[in-house]
Every structure is written in structure tokens, then in C-alpha cells.
Amino acid sequence: MKVENLNTNSKNLDFSLPEFLEILKKYWNYITSKWLLILIFGVTGGILGLITSLLLKPTYTAHLSFSLVEKTSGGGLADLASTFGLSGLMGGGNNSVFSGDNLLEIIQSRYAIEQTLLTAVDYKNVKETLVEVYIQSYDLRKKWEKNKLNPNLKNLKFPIGQNRDSFSRTQDSVLYSFYSDIISSKSLSVERKSKKLNIVNVDFISRDELFSKLFVEKLMDETYRFYSITRTAQSRSNINMMQHTADSIKSLYESALYKGAGFSQVNVNQALQFASVPRIKQENNAQLYGTVYAEVLKNLETLKLDLARETPIIQIIDTPRLPLKINKFGKVKGLIIGSFLGGFLIVGYLFLVLYFKELLEKK
């Protein structure tokens, strides 16, 4: 019984070629009978696509590529650190936390983007912050003037040199919204060209050609500054400590020299030979301080060399140059895509109407 039921069901699902061609012919005749409606929708879609192409403003892509050259300090730094009791500070944490892969995340971080927007630039012979250029490029002030919920927006400014800690709540909110828009719209793209190659591509898209160029350049400057300072923070701290030690020893050395010179001027007779003891002690101190000071200076120079070896280098390969790549939704493209979508939608609708009509007739 089960076998017979399966055979019966399979026969019901089979269609012969003539039946299939008959169905196609029926649907084709139905669609061709509606040619005028399809034409109207196609023309309407083409017109809408053409209008869209005229309304959409072109965008510009600034492209920059770089290679990160990371260097590591030699054994001299570790040995020297252990000599002066700083070995615990030289665990190499900066090398692991701020590796090359993390640099890609730093470029897209809120800190890097906001600092870039607050950078002062020369824009069309006017010196102003990039965030002001962003506001101009997207005509945001016109929208803010109509905003009755927050009347402070129309007078909002981001002057050059304003302390970040003195920002108002509105300034912080607007700056964060710009960062969110850049990330969510994927205007900023950062990706490694290949896992085998240490080359990174940075692309930024905006409505303003000059803004795109300036943004990418300043973003790389801010990122490298932050990356380099953070990665070498421990080494710089050690140099500062060593420099402080050198200054202290130098002060003691000079003080011993002056005191020794003072004692040497004393007229000492044979009955007061003990008076020469302080002079001898000061001469010994001066000699000791001089030896220690020379050694500290040598070690300080070693630390500075290790800092230079540890500082990463970003080698710029391609930099954005005007004119930038323009992204424009062309009139012909808009007309074709609009016509296709209009025709496709009406044909799909007609098929559904015919299908449901047949279902109702069968019932």
C-alpha cells in the first residue's frame, strides 16, 4: 500500500513537456496582453532613476596605503635595565599589546577619528578644524537652524585649539555622532592587502574632494603619533629616570669639585695637617662622582639608541592626490536600472495576480 501511494503521488507531480509549454504560453500571452501597463511602469521607473541620479551628489574616494616596519630593541636595553633595577619594567608589554594588527583597529577607533576631526587644516585658504569642514560639506548648519528641539546647534562651533576637556555636552554629542556616521556608513575602510604582505589600504569617501584627502592624511598622522608614543612609553619613562639620575650625579660632582677647590686654598702648616683631610675626601668624592657620571651618560645613550630601534616606522606607499576618484551615479545608469526595476516589479505583480486568480477558480 505504501509503495502504491508513493507511485501515485509521483505521477501527480510529473508534468509532460507539452503541458509545461502550454503553461508558459498562457503566462506569456497574459504578460504580452499587459504590455502597455508594463511599458508605463518601465518608463516611470526610468524617469525616477534619472531623477535619482540628478539628486545624488557625487562622492570622492581618498586612497592611502602604507607598510608598517616594526623594530625591536636589542639585548643592550634589557641588560642595562637589569643593572639599574628596571628589569621589571621591560616586560615587552607594549610589543604585544600594540602589535601591527592592532594598528588597524586604532585607525578606526573613536579616539583617532575624533582627534582627526579636531585637527586644524588649511581648507580653501581658511584655517579651521576638520570638523567644521565636515559640517560645511554636508550642509548641517541649515538642518540645525530648523531644529527646534536643540536651539544651541545653530550656534555650535569647534574652534581651533579648544581644550577637549572644556567641550560642552552638545559638542561631545555632535562629535560622537560624526564618528558613528563615519563608521556605520562604512565611509572609512581599513584592510590589509594580503595576509602575506604587511601592506594596509586606507580609503575614505565623502562628498567633498578636499575633505577626503585631508581627512585621510591627518588620520594617519594622528594614528602614528598615538601608536608611536604608546608603544615606546616605557622606554621614554626609563630614559627620563636615567636622565634624572644623571642630572643628580652631575650636581653632586660639580659640588664636590667646588668644595675641593675651596679646601685647596687653605694655608695648611705642619701643625695643622689634619686640615687637609676634608680636601682629600672631596677630591675622592669628585673622582667617584665623575666616574659614575660618565658611566650613567654612556648608559643613557644606550637607552636612547634602544628607543630609536623600538620606534616603529610607517612607510607611506600611496598617498591621496588630487583629483581623487569620483563615484557618481550616472544618468544612463539610473535610467537603465530604474526602467529594469519598474518593469520587473510590475511583471512580478502580474504573475502573482494570475496565480492567485487560478487558485480561486480551482476552488
Which among 60, 57, 328 is positioned nearest to 204, based on CA atoms? 60
Pairing type for strands 120-123 and 126-129 reads antiparallel
**Do 169 and 277 belong to one domain?**
no
**Do 190 and 110 belong to one domain?**
yes
**Do 210 and 343 belong to one domain?**
no
**Do 163 and 245 belong to one domain?**
no
**Do 297 and 213 belong to one domain?**
no
**Do 177 and 51 belong to one domain?**
no
Res 172: pLDDT: 93
337 alpha-carbon distance from chain centroid: 34
**Do 335 and 304 belong to one domain?**
no
Contact 94, 233 (CB under 8 A): yes
Q: Note down the domain range covering 83.
A: 59-232+313-327
Res 132: pLDDT: 94
Contact 207, 138 (CB under 8 A): yes
Res 275: pLDDT: 52
Phi and psi torsions of 236, nearest 5°: -65, -40
> Quick one: cell of 140?
548641517
- How many domains is the chain built from? 3
Residue 160's identity, in one-letter code, is I
Which among 313, 317, 316 is positioned nearest to 70, based on CA atoms? 313
In the chain, the DSSP E strands lie at 59-69, 120-123, 126-129, 188-192, 199-206, 313-318, 325-327
Q: Which residues of the chain have pLDDT under 50?
A: 1-13, 73-98, 265-268, 270-274, 277
Using CA of residue 213, residue 216, residue 217, residue 222, what is the dihedral sign?
A: positive
| Rounded Cα–Cα distance for residues 319 and 134 (Å) | 21
> Quick one: cell of 10?
509521483
**Do 170 and 247 belong to one domain?**
no
Res 333: pLDDT: 79
**Do 99 and 197 belong to one domain?**
yes
Res 174: pLDDT: 93
Res 109: pLDDT: 92
Contact 263, 282 (CB under 8 A): yes
**Do 19 and 79 belong to one domain?**
no
Res 327: pLDDT: 85
**Do 115 and 142 belong to one domain?**
yes
Contact 314, 68 (CB under 8 A): yes
Pairing type for strands 59-69 and 199-206 reads antiparallel
DSSP state of 85: T
> Quick one: cell of 94?
607594549
> Quick one: cell of 106?
586604532
| Rounded Cα–Cα distance for residues 201 and 190 (Å) | 6
**Do 197 and 255 belong to one domain?**
no
